Amino acid sequence: MTFEYAPALESRAIVSIAPSYGLFINGEFVDPTSGTMFKTINPATEEVLAEISEANQSDVNAAVNSARRAFERTWSVMSGRDRAKYLFRIARLLQERAREFAVLETLDNGKPIRESRDIDVPLAAAHFFYYAGWADKLEHAGLGPNPQALGVAGQIIPWNFPLLMLAWKIAPALACGNTVVLKPAETTSLTALLFAEVCQQADLPPGVVNIITGAGDTGQMIVEHDGINKIAFTGSTDVGKSIQRALAGTNKKLTLELGGKAANIIFDDAPIDQAVEGIVDGIFFNQGHVCCAGSRLLLQESIAEETIEALKRRLQTLRLGDPLDKNTDIGAINSREQLNKIHQLIKSGDDEGAERWTAPCEIPEKGWWCAPTVFTNVTAAHRIAREEIFGPVLSVLTFRTADEAVEKANNTPFGLSAGIWTEKGSRILWMANQLRAGVIWANTFNRFDPTSPFGGYKESGFGREGGIQGLGAYLQSATDSDVHAKGMS
């Protein structure tokens, strides 16, 4: 017998979206000097939500100048204890306004409300709480006796976790005494602009946080601006490389969080039902728009067939549709452009001879959607085994021995994350030592915690965000301060 869930729609009445938004510079919303606006769209309905300002060079200059003034006059001279008070206040406001943020994130991004409500927003608040706790204890972080802020940080973030990526960037920067100019992704600016309101509500001194919106060109202006001391970028490997080239030979510090193609490795002694849940979380969470997604499933040959059957059964129960419905598991793809990219890679899988299975979902008429897709008979040479798809598409490979699993898992230009499923603790430790990945999960996947550092190897970037390590990215290292002290910088 099959039965249907009754719709359980989250109300959008809690959110009021303005028809248009200015840039948040020096504590106020101002019109862009360009006068140019672009639209942000709800990817589940294709409805225009609001008009967003495009920042040009003179807006970027104003934002950087405002951040510089705030750094010199207020934020860097304030005690860590006082900075902490502001950060705690922001964290509490994010909790108080959690429902508003969750609904707005779901409207602008397309992700299921269950995820924005239970993961994105609580984790964003947790980041502010965690780094608020560090603001007056920096001398105990193991980074020298009197660690100093870098100055003005330029921060550029992608569209997959808009508010959460903002929190990963802003919380540690502010805790360490830096001021920031942040640019959200073009398709998902709304929660960053609501966060600007939270900064006002928290009475954060003007200029400590500046949020400027726009496309890649605006991002590039931030990267190239002389008044910036550090760039923190999360996004694609191609743009990351171009930023690294632009910064070569300058004094600006850089951290890059880029793409991934993680292996999720299941051994024959793993609890298969739990592993299936981990596979689903690994690649279908957030429609697969996750840099550390477990997009390559490596199954030990003896359990491959049984696991694929169990996985397909489980995928038939996933519900795709209205992201505001609390029963929804799979939301909308954030943009038509991203959907096209996913379709192109799915087609390459077909063309190169992999075997495709697609979950039987009804696709809504409006909006951008992609049903959960699993490719079997995949070889390491296929594009779907090598390139980041950034969508709900899983490529399944098999292995016989642990050595072969390691070799296959590491056979990628990326190195962001990996998953290991086995009952044997010794095997987990051995595997973790062999895998070239920044984050390794054992018998779980896609778990995040502000106390734990996150970051990659190879083309997944460098630098760590989260944890004590995340402080290091926003403080002068001992050698930098020596250089400063000797006036050699």
Interface contacts to ligand NAP, rule CB under 6 A? 156-160, 183, 185-186, 215-216, 219-220, 223, 234-236, 239, 242-243, 257-260, 291, 388, 390, 416, 456, 461
Alpha-carbon 302 to chain mean position: 35
Contact status, residue 116 vs residue 154, Cβ threshold 8 Å: no
Shortest distance (Å) from residue 272 CB to ligand NAP: 29
Taking the C-alpha atoms of residue 465 and residue 431, their distance in angstroms, rounded to an integer, is 24
Contact status, residue 470 vs residue 453, Cβ threshold 8 Å: yes
Q: Is 306 a catalytic residue?
A: no
Nearer to Mg ion, 67 or 185 (CB): 185
Shortest distance (Å) from residue 188 CB to Mg ion: 5
State yes or no: residue 187 binds Mg ion (CB under 5 A). Answer: yes
DSSP state of 36: -
Helix H or strand E segment including 52: strand 47-53
Burial class (CB in 10 A: 0-12, 13-18, 19+), 132: buried
Three-state DSSP at 42 gives: strand
**Which of Mg ion, ligand NAP, none is residue 242 near (CB under 5 to 8 Å by kind)?**
ligand NAP
Nearer to Mg ion, 36 or 316 (CB): 36
Q: Is 115 a catalytic residue?
A: no
Contact status, residue 48 vs residue 227, Cβ threshold 8 Å: no
The single residue among 108, 281, 329, 459 that binds Mg ion, judged by CB under 5 A, is 108
Question: What residues numbered 267-326 form the site for Mg ion, per CB under 5 A?
Answer: none
How many beta carbons lie within 10 A of that of residue 5, not counting itself?
10
**Which of Mg ion, ligand NAP, none is residue 40 near (CB under 5 to 8 Å by kind)?**
Mg ion
Taking the C-alpha atoms of residue 162 and residue 166, their distance in angstroms, rounded to an integer, is 6
Nearer to ligand NAP, 264 or 300 (CB): 264
Closest residue by Cα to residue 366 from 17, 47, 5 = 47
Q: Catalytic one among 10, 105, 115, 291?
A: 291
Nearer to Mg ion, 40 or 160 (CB): 40
Shortest distance (Å) from residue 23 CB to ligand NAP: 14
Nearer to Mg ion, 17 or 442 (CB): 17
**Which of Mg ion, ligand NAP, none is residue 108 near (CB under 5 to 8 Å by kind)?**
Mg ion
What does the block give as tokens for 37? 């606006």
Taking the C-alpha atoms of residue 424 and residue 376, their distance in angstroms, rounded to an integer, is 27
Q: Catalytic one among 257, 388, 459, 465?
A: 257
DSSP state of 185: -
In the chain, the N- to C-terminal Cα span, in Å, equals 73
Residue nearest to ligand NAP (CB): 219
Taking the C-alpha atoms of residue 153 and residue 192, their distance in angstroms, rounded to an integer, is 16
**Which of ligand NAP, Mg ion, none is residue 75 near (CB under 5 to 8 Å by kind)?**
none
**Which of ligand NAP, Mg ion, none is residue 422 near (CB under 5 to 8 Å by kind)?**
none
The single residue among 26, 40, 116, 338 that binds Mg ion, judged by CB under 5 A, is 40
Taking the C-alpha atoms of residue 98 and residue 121, their distance in angstroms, rounded to an integer, is 6
**Which of Mg ion, ligand NAP, none is residue 354 near (CB under 5 to 8 Å by kind)?**
none
Considering only 36-44, 121-129, 243-251, 289-297, which stretch makes contact with Mg ion by CB under 5 A? 36-44
Contact status, residue 373 vs residue 394, Cβ threshold 8 Å: yes
Binding residues (CB under 5 A) for Mg ion: these are 40-41, 108, 187
Q: Annotated active-site positions, please?
A: 257, 291
